[in-house]
Amino acid sequence: MIILLDYIGMILASPRTIAKILIAERRSILWGFITVISASLMLSVNLGYILIVKTLGILGIAIPFMKSVSIIAIVLGTVVGSIIAWLLLGLLLYAFDKALDGKASLENILLVYSFQWIPLFIVGLVSPVFYYLDMVSSILLLTLVTIIALLWGYIIVLIANAEANGFSLARSFIASILQLFMVFSVIVYIPVLLGVKI
Amino acid sequence: MDDILLKILGVLVIAGYVIGIAVPAYLISTNNPGNATLPFNEFIKLFNMHKGKEFKEVEEKTVNITGWEKIYLDLTIISGYLKITTSNDIKGKIIVKLLSVSETGSTDSYSINIDDAKEKIEIIAKNHGVGVEILVPKDKTLVINSVVKDGASNIEIDGETLSKLELSIIDGLALAKINNLESSKVVIRNSDSATFAELSYKYFTGKSRLTYECMGGMLSAKTYVDQKTKLLITTYDQGGYTHLFFNGKPINYYSDPDYDIAESFLSIEIRTYDGYANVGIER
């Protein structure tokens, strides 16, 4: 447990070291899987609370069935969506790393990429505040904290990815930018393919 | 020192995940929304219109009246009904008139005269912006409680002195019971709602007309008519479906042979534009 605390602390404070340790210890991607599931579950429960329970509270209605179904849908959607995002984005990062002569294996990249989700713990730390805030303020705070956590996670992944591949930070940055560029291109391209005018 | 810092960070992360899952999960399981408001006044107003809990709070006004006076109430009612409760010691008559019923397009207004000692009347209102005019006798205290509910409504009107009645049930479940009808024109209209209406006509002379209009949802109605009153019952289905019963037997049309020379004549028309109407008429 103490080692686990150290490891988690190192992900936030010293991603380069933890990447080196985890790769050397040949840790499996199960660690990454557990991280992504825990973070997305926590995010989805908060989303469900704000979007469903607060909304029903505002409307002054109690529809237990609708509430349960909506919350289950949000939780399942967020968790499954996060796992898919982790696998696809990790795969893309791996592809661009390889294109830039990276030496990390796919398993290592997936493990390192799961660090992206770790800083979402700050959403959990502020979650009791949502109880006291109105619905719109809760959504704004959740969005703000999530963006901060994702940016923090991005920096952690950038450093850890550089270490895993033996890259400089600049090369790791190029790989991650290419990865993000590809994602945004697909996001824009799919609606165009479907005939949506932008 | 570094080790302690790492451990603190590790504890923070695990605490964040545990708190972040446990707190909202507990609030969800106990259905506790916490601060269930919206920050903008207009939103609060808009949403509270639909909030039955809010409208159970009674707006109470006590008015001392020294003559026949008109009292105007500006009420905004969305999907609900207005109940006006008078104190028991009112003598004379109270006239309540819906001045305008907007949004749904109808500009019809009607007045209800209430005899002495009627404790309450309830008037169905349609959507938004209902002006109410109340005429009350002098020297009396009138306590007006206006209550708007969303959803289930229960209407009971003693309609002996109604000259005209039009009930429109837009949303929610409505149970309407109207006794002693002697009106020249009655319309019960529902849309997107489940409406149960029960009307009983007392003996009257002249012609009267009752229209059930089912615009959607389900309308279940029973009508009791005096033995001497002659009947003409017609249905008009356009998109909806009507089940019509006369004295328990299914019919599509009914006409008394001598209705055109009768002293008391009631024409009942069922119009089903959408949804399902089940109307039973008994004499």
Residue among B8, B28, B51 with most chain A CBs within 10 A, to mutate:
B28
Output Rg (C-alpha) for chain B, integer angstroms: 26
Longest pairwise C-alpha distance within chain A:
59
The string of pLDDT tens digits covering residues A9-37 is: 888 888 888 888 888 888 888 889 999 99
For B103, B180, B258, the CA distances from B55, given in Å and listed in that order, are 21, 30, 50
Minimum distance, in Å, between the CA of residue B14 and any CA atom of chain A: 7
Burial class of residue A65 (count of CB atoms within 10 Å of its CB; 0-12, 13-18, 19+) = exposed
pLDDT of residue B101: 42
Chain B residues close to A120, C-beta within 8 Å: 16, 20
- Torsional class of B192: left (φ above 0), alpha (ψ -120 to 50), beta (otherwise): left
A127: Cα separation from own chain's centroid: 17
Interface predicted TM-score of the whole assembly (ipTM), two decimals: 0.89
Minimum distance, in Å, between the CA of residue A10 and any CA atom of chain B: 6
Out of A41, A45, A124, closest to residue B16 by CB: A124
CA dihedral B149, B153, B158, B161 (to 10 degrees): 60
Q: Which residues are within 8 A (CB) of A10 and not within 5 positions of it... i.e. 6 or more apart?
A: A17, A18, A21, B6
A36: Cα separation from own chain's centroid: 7
A39 pLDDT above the threshold of 60: yes
Return the percentage of chain A with pLDDT > 90, whole number. 55
Chain B residues close to A49, C-beta within 8 Å: 24, 27-28
Which residue, among B147, B141, B154, has the nearest Cα to B94 in the 3D structure? Answer: B141
Task: With cut-offs at 50, 70 and 90, classify the pLDDT of residue A86.
Answer: very high
**Contact (CB, 8 A) for B183 and B162:** yes
Return the percentage of chain B with pLDDT > 70, whole number. 46
Minimum distance, in Å, between the CA of residue A137 and any CA atom of chain B: 8
| 3-state SS assignment for residue A156 | helix
**Contact (CB, 8 A) for B124 and B174:** yes
Instruction: Report the C-alpha gap between A149 and A118 in whole angstroms.
Output: 8
Q: Which residues are within 8 A (CB) of B276 and not within 5 positions of it... i.e. 6 or more apart?
A: B214, B217, B218, B219, B240, B241, B242, B243
Residues B20, A56: C-beta atoms closer than 8 Å: no
Instruction: Report the C-alpha gap between A112 and A119 in whole angstroms.
Output: 13
Instruction: Report the C-alpha gap between B233 and B236 in whole angstroms.
Output: 10
**Chain A, chain B: beta-carbon pairs less than 8 Å apart:** 139
Which residue, among A82, A80, A77, has the nearest Cα to A149 in the 3D structure? Answer: A82
The string of pLDDT tens digits covering residues A50-85 is: 988 887 776 656 667 778 888 999 999 999 999 999
pLDDT of residue B259: 75
Measured CA angle at A78 (ends A76, A84), to 5 deg = 100
Which residue, among B150, B180, B163, B133, has the nearest Cα to B53 in the 3D structure? Answer: B150
Out of A4, A45, A118, closest to residue B25 by CB: A45
Residues A6, B10: C-beta atoms closer than 8 Å: yes
pLDDT of residue B115: 41
Instruction: Report the C-alpha gap between A137 and B243 in whole angstroms.
Output: 52
B226-254 average pLDDT score: 87
Residues A57, B3: C-beta atoms closer than 8 Å: no
Chain A residues close to B14, C-beta within 8 Å: 5, 8, 121
- Indicate the pTM of the whole model: 0.51
pLDDT of residue B178: 63
Instruction: Report the C-alpha gap between B28 and A55 in whole angstroms.
Output: 12
> Mean pLDDT, chain A, as a whole number?
88
H/E run at residue B214: strand B206-214
Task: With cut-offs at 50, 70 and 90, classify the pLDDT of residue B33.
Answer: confident
The secondary structure of B89-113 as a DSSP string is T--S-EEEEEEEE-SSS-----EEE
Q: Dihedral of CA B248/B250/B254/B257: which sign? A: negative
Out of B10, B17, B37, closest to residue A9 by CB: B10
Looking at residue A186, its amino acid is V
H/E run at residue B11: helix B2-29
CB atoms within 10 A of CB A132: 10
Q: Which residue in B has a C-alpha nearest to residue A51's C-alpha?
A: B33
Residues B35, A9: C-beta atoms closer than 8 Å: no
